[in-house]
Chain A
Amino acid sequence: MSDKILYSLTGLFDTPDEIIAAAKKVQAEGYTKYDVNTPYPVHGMDSAMKLPMSRLPYVAMVVGLTGMFLALFFMWWTNSVDYPLVIGGKPYFALPAYVPIMFEVTVLSASIATVVTMIAIVFKFPNNSHPLLDTEYMKHVSVDKYGISISAEDPKFNYESVKSLLESLGAKNISPVYFKDEVINFKPNTFEPKFVLSLIGLFIVVSGLTYVTLNKLMYLPPFDWMMEQSKVIAQERSDVFEDGRGMRTPVEGTVARGFLPYKYKDNPDAAGKFLVNPLPATEENLQVGETKFDIYCSPCHGYLAEGDSRLKGQFPNPPSLHSAKVRNWSDGRIYHVITEGQNAMPSYAYQLSREERWAIILYIRALQRSLNAKESDLQ
């Protein structure tokens, strides 16, 4: 007994009236670190113990309002900023339609926050090592007795005087409660083999299950994630057609839109003569031209069309596009070169649409102007 540390002195009462009177008396005597334990909340105890009003509703209000505005902000951001989408003719920011979710998020966040705050911060739970737990005293107040426990840490605590106070109040089973030995002597050891091994085991189980779930289980039938569908995809066999091909060739004698055959095949002069650039030299077209030129032409011709290839030594260098010859070519003549290719240059008809080719020509003209400006450009 000598090495035990006293936590409190406890006494039990039989009726709610007695415990209220006892709490009032203990409070009046000036004790501050005492507690009353009853199997259910006894009315009038708050005022008897002079307990202040719980401030937890403020937590509910602050977190609830925060949750509400976060929900509103999130819905506004997703529907109006990140991916604006008109749904059912509603505006991007459809406040009335957001009200239900704002309400639900308010309730959800406030309820969780209030309860977690109460349990974890106010009560400091879970705590299964409190000295009062597992005592005869607790076993009584858990069922039908009303107990009072005056802590030894109270500045006014004096074993004899507290005992006589409880006796004068008519308490029964007055008994001291000590801190538990195993709690006092407990020394946490992080590197205990049992603990480390169980951690490793847990890690293996969790990571193994995660791997199996994410990589194997989720791809078993019927979980095909719609990757296998009954539609025909390119290059696939199809039994619908006699020849078994899923892909069909165009009907003979027809031309698909945008695939009109090139009229001036092997006839550069006619192309130069009859073809006219249909695109006006707008900023937009020049922008397209620059992008496409930088992707398809610049590797050999260079960014400034000076023939300064980035692929020097791997391919023969093309001549500069700033030569008088090219400058004097009509747009149609250049178009012919892009379409059909020339010398080492292959055709770009498959890589570039017709409009893109014309846009590139606009850009080449702009580049040419930049090195060989006319007098009039200075004005």
Chain B
Amino acid sequence: MSSIDYTQELPVVEGRPTLKEINELIARPLDQKPDKKFYIALSITVSMLLIGAIALGFTFYYGVGLWGNNNPVGWGFPIVNFVFWVGIGHAGTLISAILFLFRQRWRNGIARFAEGMTIFAVMTAGLFPLIHVGRPWLAGYLIPYPNQHSLWVDFNSPLLWDVFAVSTYFTVSFIFWYVGLIPDFASLRDRATSKVKKIIYSIFSLGWRHSNRHWTHYEMVYLVLAGFATPLVLSVHTIVSFDFAVSILPGWHATIFPPYFVAGAVFSGFAMVQNVLIFIRKIFNYEKIITLDTLERMNKIILLTGSMVGYAYAMEFFTAWYSGVQPEQFTFINRAFGPYAWAYWIMVSCNVLFPQLFWIRKIRRTIPVMFVIAVLVNVGMWFERFVITVTSLHRDFLPSSWAYFKPTIVDLAILLGSFGFFFTWILLFTKTLPVVSIAEIKAVNEGAQPSHGEH
């Protein structure tokens, strides 16, 4: 067990495949016709998506009264789901930008897929603000344009900051993703045998010729984009947390929220990336590219961020006690021992206790166990948003207006639909685009770089 030589960097790509093998391995899923398993998976996700779509249709026709939202709990599932999905999206940019700046070469195998997941997760998240306004066709009013009311949007509101943050995040992630894809489109174009594919790849590759006069600018722009995306990813969940923290409700009004939310977002995002990658590497035989070492490193990050989240939970209680403010103290006692205690303890056990198992090296490297823990992490993170949103609202300052929030079947159907939406995109992605960056993997293959005589 202790036979690893830590003085030498582990190879990112195992087994030293030739560049041609890498090319073929990554491009193979795009050549093969989708098999039966793919269609089964797709039919499941599309069914989930349709269930959600039907629920949404009812919601738009009859109004948001179909949901469980009641008078003190005005923010129910849509906000919970929005924060959950935006959080899932955070791992992608963290992997592709922050780990890039830290020169973590193992990121190259998983960056493309994680970025794709970011885009789909942000798309899923973006549905919810539109849904929860009840009249999604009026969402245009969120954009500051000169309108017939001669009114402007409120630039002082965290909800408007959200509009800017999430749309910027989506756009920049998409650009980052596409810039990364250009050389791969060129590689696919040059190996395409069918005429239609060749035309499609030619259009998207824009005529890329792997020229080193281009690579030099390309690498610089990639660095600049990573530099921008890093503060951006931190800002997005910070601003999402402002939706809560800027209000004066006990349980929301906390300065710890921005870092706590960002850590939670990275936590849940990594868990989701890890879950899906376990399938990808198995189905597409990417074990040498997405190595067990990579998964272990991801588990370490899950452990780190999980501990940060656990610290934040404890600190919230400390702050409530130390503040001496009665409603604040009541909110937290009510959170842990009130009517929603079940949700609170699901959250604590899934987010704080189970990830601690990753201290054990064997668990970090056993795929079925880490898969289960990561699933639990996402369950816990969904409940974290539920606990924050609902428990703070359901017992407000006036005991006569206290109420218990119960989601309706429509709420649950929309939640199911959001998973269907997300995984449908993921499935289509795996069959249409290279889920691992061809150029980046070639660059970190052993022997791919000159032997540095001059360094």
Contact = CB atoms under 8 A, between A and B. Distances in A.
Interface of A: 15-17, 20, 23, 35-47, 49, 51, 53-54, 56-57, 60, 74-75, 78-79, 82-83, 85, 87-88, 90, 94, 97-98, 100-101, 103-105, 107-108, 110-112, 114-115, 118-119, 122-123, 125-130, 132-133, 138-139, 141-144, 218, 221-223, 225
Given A40-B442, A139-B190, A128 B202 contact: yes
B179 A115 contact: yes
28 contacts: A38-B210, A39-B439, A40-B442, A41-B439, A42-B450, A46-B212, A49-B212, A54-B220, A56-B220, A56-B221, A57-B220, A60-B224, A78-B155, A94-B156, A101-B164, A107-B232, A111-B176, A115-B175, A119-B206, A122-B214, A123-B214, A128-B207, A130-B209, A142-B210, A143-B23, A144-B20, A144-B23, A222-B61
Nearest to B27: A143
Interface in B426-455: 438-440, 442-443, 447-454
A133 B207 contact: yes
A218 to B, nearest CB: 7
Contacts of B219: 41
A125 B206 contact: yes
A177 to B, nearest CB: 11
B218 interface: yes
Interface in B156-204: 156-158, 160-161, 164-165, 168, 171-172, 175-176, 179, 183, 186-187, 189-191, 202-203
A127 B207 contact: yes
Nearest to A105: B164
Given A98-B155, A100-B235, A104-B165, A45 B207 contact: no
Closest 10 A/B residue pairs (Cβ):
A144-B19, A142-B190, A54-B220, A78-B152, A40-B443, A125-B206, A127-B207, A41-B215, A36-B212, A126-B206
Nearest to B61: A222
Interface in B397-451: 438-440, 442-443, 447-451
A122 B217 contact: yes
Nearest to B443: A40
B221 A40 contact: no
A289 B158 CA distance: 48
Contact of B451 (A17, A100, A111): A17
A143 to B, nearest CB: 5
Nearest to B442: A40
B231 interface: yes
Nearest to A17: B450
B236 to A, nearest CB: 9
B222 to A, nearest CB: 9
Most buried by A among B144, B202, B448: B448
B187 A44 contact: no
Contacts of A108: 168, 171-172
A163 B408 CA distance: 76
Contact of B156 (A23, A35, A42, A87): A87
Contacts of A218: 137
B212 A35 contact: yes
Contact of B172 (A107, A125, A223): A107
Nearest to A123: B214
A103 B212 contact: no
Contacts of A129: 207
A100 B239 CA distance: 8
B192 to A, nearest CB: 10
B240 to A, nearest CB: 11
B311 to A, nearest CB: 25
A78 B151 CA distance: 9
B177 to A, nearest CB: 11
Contacts of A53: 220
